[in-house]
C-alpha cells in the first residue's frame, strides 16, 4: 500500500440525537505530517516520564473569568520507534538514503524493510558503523548551528538536508509521523510554519510578487517608525514599552527554536536573531553534541513572542500556549545513537522557569521526548568519558491543530493518569488543594 499525505481526520463520535460541533477552519497554510500505514498500537505506550511544570495563571479568552490556570507538559516515551527506524534516520542524516529515492521501498515501513533485507549481522554492522562516525566525516553536516541568538556554534546538518527531510519521503520519517497521529488522534498535526511566525510574510503566502514587495516595504516603515518612537522616548526619559508577555520567570532569555541555522537568507523566527546575521528556524533540527560544546537554556517557540505583524498573530492573536481552540506548539525530540551509556552524559535538561528546579532526560537510543515549546530547556554536552562520541538527535517543530472551537489539547493523555507536578506546578497544586479544603470546611459549617 502506498504512503499517503494525511488529511484532517474525523472527529469524535456522536450519538444520533447529538449534532457534532462544526469543524474548525485554520486560516494558515499548514502542512500536515505525511504518513504511511503503520501497525503500531499506541495502547502499549507507558510513558517513562509524564510531568507538568511552569504552573501559573494566564489571560484566556476561553475562560469566563478571563484567566485560566496553565501548565506546560513534557512526556518521555522509551522505544517509541524500532532500532531499524532509528538507524534509517541516522543513516539519512549522515549519508543520505537510497530508500528515500526508491519509490518501491517507500511503500514499506522500516520494520518491513528490515524483515526483507536485514539480518542481525547487518544490523550489528550498521550500529558499529554509526558508532564510529563523526559529523566532521560527513559532507551533510556543518559546525554552524546555535541554540539561541549569539550562542556558540555546534554541529548540525546543512540546510539542504533539512529541506530534504521536510519533503517527507523517508519511510522512517513517515513511520514516526504515523505513530504521532495514532498517539494524538483527536487533532491534526502539522509542521510549524516558520514563515507564518515571522514579521515579514514570504512571497508564497502572498497573492503576488508585488504584494510581497509592498508588505516588505510596509514592514520596514513600521520598524523605522518604532525606532523613532523609542529614540524619542529615550530622549524624553520615558520608560521603554513593556516586552511581550512570558509565562516563565525568565524575561532575560529570548525565545528561540531548538537550534537556529545561521547565515541563511530567511528572516528571524519567533524573535530569534543573531549578531552574525540573519537566522532561519527550521521545522526540523538535527544536531550532534560533542564534549566541550556549550548550550544555553531557551524555548523553542512561544505564541506570545510572535511579532504583532506576523501572519500567525493576525490569524490567532496573542495567546499563551495551551489556549483552548488554538494550536498547541510542541517539539518532538528523538535520540538516534545506537548506544549511549549513562556516564557519557549529554542529557536534555527541562527547567521550571519560576523555581529553577527541573528534570533531566538521558539520551537513550530510540527514546522520544515530547514537550510544549514554551518549556525552558537545553542540551548538556557529553562528558569527558564519552571521548569524541557525538550525541545525535533529531527534533520536529510541530503544531497540534484543534478540530473544533474551544477544544483543549494536551500532551498528557488521560489514560496515562495525572502528570507529576514539579516546581511551580506543584506550588499551584498545593494552593488548589488548600482552597478546596477551605471550601469543604465552609460547606460543612453551613
pLDDT in tens, 416-427: 999 999 999 999
Average pLDDT for residues 1-22, to the nearest whole number?
A: 45
**Spatial CB neighbours of 150, under 8 Å, sequence gap ≥ 6:** 274, 275, 276
Does a structural domain hold residue 35? Answer: no
pLDDT of residue 263: 29
Shared domain for 214 and 128, answered yes or no, is no
3-state secondary structure of 348: strand
- Residue 142 and residue 67 in one domain: yes
Within 8 A by CB and 6+ apart from 378, the residues are 147, 295, 296, 297, 298, 348, 349, 351
Residue 242: inside a domain: no
Hey, CA dihedral for 175, 176, 177, 179, is it positive or negative? positive
Q: What is the largest CA-CA distance in the chain?
A: 75
Same domain flag for 271 and 158? yes
Same domain, 367 and 264: yes
| pLDDT confidence tier of residue 194, bands split at 50, 70 and 90 | confident
Assigned domain for 446 exists = no
At 287-333, the pLDDT tens digits run: 999 999 999 999 998 899 898 889 999 999 999 999 999 999 999 99
Residue 154's closest CA among 264, 299, 296, 266? Answer: 296
H/E element, 182: helix 171-183
Which three cell numbers, joined as nine digits, stand for 36?
A: 504511511
pLDDT in tens, 299-309: 998 899 898 88
- Whether the pTM exceeds 0.85: the reply is no
> In terms of residue numbers, what domain contains 188?
42-193+253-440
Range picked from 15-24, 111-120, 134-143, 402-411 for highest mean pLDDT:
402-411
φ, ψ (nearest 5 deg) of residue 315: -80, -40
Same domain, 293 and 423: yes
Place of cell 517543530: 397
- As a whole number of angstroms, the distance between CA 320 and CA 305 comes to 9
Is the predicted pLDDT of residue 47 greater than 90, yes or no? yes
Sign of CA dihedral 258, 190, 169, 269: negative
All 3 cell numbers of residue 331? 517539539
Domain identity same for 301 and 406: yes
- Whether 5 is in a domain gets the answer no
Query: Considering only CA atoms, which of 137, 48, 140, 125 is closest in space to residue 87?
Result: 125
Per-residue DSSP letter, 275: T
* 2: in domain: no
Indicate whether 105 and 187 sit together in one domain: yes
Is there a domain that residue 284 lies in? yes
Cell of 235: 530622549
Joined together, the cell numbers standing for residue 346 give: 549529554
The pLDDT tens digits for 106-117 are: 445 555 545 444
Cα of first residue to Cα of last residue in the chain, in angstroms, is 67
Residue 43 scores a pLDDT above 50: yes
* Share above pLDDT 70 across residues of the chain, in percent, rounded to a whole number: 68
**Is the pLDDT assigned to residue 374 strictly greater than 50?**
yes
Res. 176: pLDDT tops 80: yes
* Overall domain count for the chain: 2
CB 262 within 8 A of CB 153: yes
Average pLDDT over residues 220-246: 52
- For residue 351, being part of any structural domain is answered with yes
Tell me the average pLDDT across 48-70. 95
Residues 214 and 290 occupy one common structural domain: no
Mean pLDDT over each residue of the chain, to the nearest integer: 79
Amino acid at each position: 500500500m502506498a504512503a499517503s499525505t494525511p488529511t484532517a481526520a474525523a472527529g469524535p463520535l456522536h450519538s444520533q440525537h447529538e449534532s457534532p460541533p462544526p469543524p474548525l477552519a485554520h486560516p494558515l497554510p499548514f502542512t500536515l505530517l505525511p504518513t504511511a500505514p503503520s501497525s503500531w498500537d499506541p495502547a502499549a505506550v507507558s510513558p517513562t516520564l509524564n510531568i507538568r511544570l511552569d504552573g501559573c495563571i494566564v489571560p484566556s479568552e476561553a475562560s469566563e473569568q478571563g484567566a485560566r490556570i496553565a501548565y506546560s507538559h513534557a512526556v518521555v516515551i522509551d522505544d517509541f520507534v524500532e532500532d531499524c527506524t532509528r538507524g534509517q534516520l541516522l543513516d539519512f542524516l549522515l549519508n543520505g538514503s537510497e530508500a528515500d529515492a526508491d519509490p518501491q521501498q517507500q511503500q514499506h515501513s522500516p520494520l518491513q524493510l528490515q524483515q526483507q533485507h536485514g539480518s542481525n549481522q547487518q544490523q550489528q554492522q550498521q550500529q558499529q558503523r554509526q558508532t564510529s562516525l563523526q559529523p566532521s566525516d560527513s559532507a551533510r553536516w556543518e559546525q554552524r548551528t546555535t541554540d539561541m541568538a549569539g550562542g556558540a556554534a555546534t554541529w548540525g546538518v546543512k540546510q539542504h538536508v533539512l529541506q530534504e527531510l521536510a519533503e517527507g519521503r523517508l519511510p522512517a520519517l513517515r513511520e514516526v509521523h504515523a505513530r504521532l497521529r495514532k498517539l494524538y488522534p483527536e487533532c491534526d498535526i502539522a509542521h510549524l510554519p516558520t514563515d507564518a511566525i515571522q514579521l515579514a510574510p514570504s512571497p508564497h503566502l502572498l497573492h503576488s510578487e508585488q504584494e510581497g514587495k509592498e508588505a516588505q516595504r510596509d514592514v520596514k516603515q513600521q520598524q523605522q517608525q518604532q525606532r523613532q518612537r523609542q529614540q524619542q522616548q529615550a530622549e524624553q526619559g520615558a520608560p521603554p514599552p513593556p516586552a511581550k508577555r512570558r509565562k516563565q520567570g525568565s524575561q532575560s532569555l529570548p525565545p528561540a527554536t531548538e537550534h537556529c541555522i545561521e547565515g541563511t537568507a530567511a528572516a528571524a523566527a519567533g524573535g530569534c536573531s543573531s549578531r552574525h546575521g540573519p537566522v532561519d528556524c527550521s521545522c526540523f533540527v538535527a544536531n550532534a553534541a560533542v564534549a566541550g560544546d556549550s548550550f544555553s537554556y531557551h524555548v523553542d517557540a512561544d505564541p506570545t513572542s510572535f511579532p504583532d505583524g506576523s501572519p500567525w498573530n493576525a490569524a490567532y492573536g496573542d495567546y499563551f500556549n495551551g489556549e483552548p481552540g488554538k494550536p498547541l506548539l510542541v517539539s518532538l525530540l528523538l535520540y538516534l545513537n545506537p548506544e549511549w551509556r549513562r556516564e557519557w552524559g549529554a542529557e536534555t535538561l527541562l527547567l521550571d522557569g519560576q523555581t529553577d528546579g527541573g528534570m533531566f532526560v538521558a539520551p537513550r537510543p530510540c527514546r522520544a521526548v515530547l514537550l510544549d515549546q514554551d518549556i525552558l530547556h537545553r542540551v548538556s554536552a557529553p562528558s569527558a568519558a564519552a571521548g569524541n562520541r557525538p550525541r545525535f538527535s533529531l527534533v520536529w517543530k510541530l503544531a497540534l491543530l484543534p478540530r473544533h472551537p474551544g477544544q483543549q489539547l494536551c500532551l498528557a493523555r488521560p489514560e496515562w493518569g495525572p502528570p507529576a507536578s514539579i516546581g511551580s506546578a506543584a506550588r499551584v497544586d498545593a494552593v488548589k488543594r488548600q482552597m478546596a479544603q477551605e471550601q469543604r470546611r465552609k460547606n460543612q459549617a453551613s
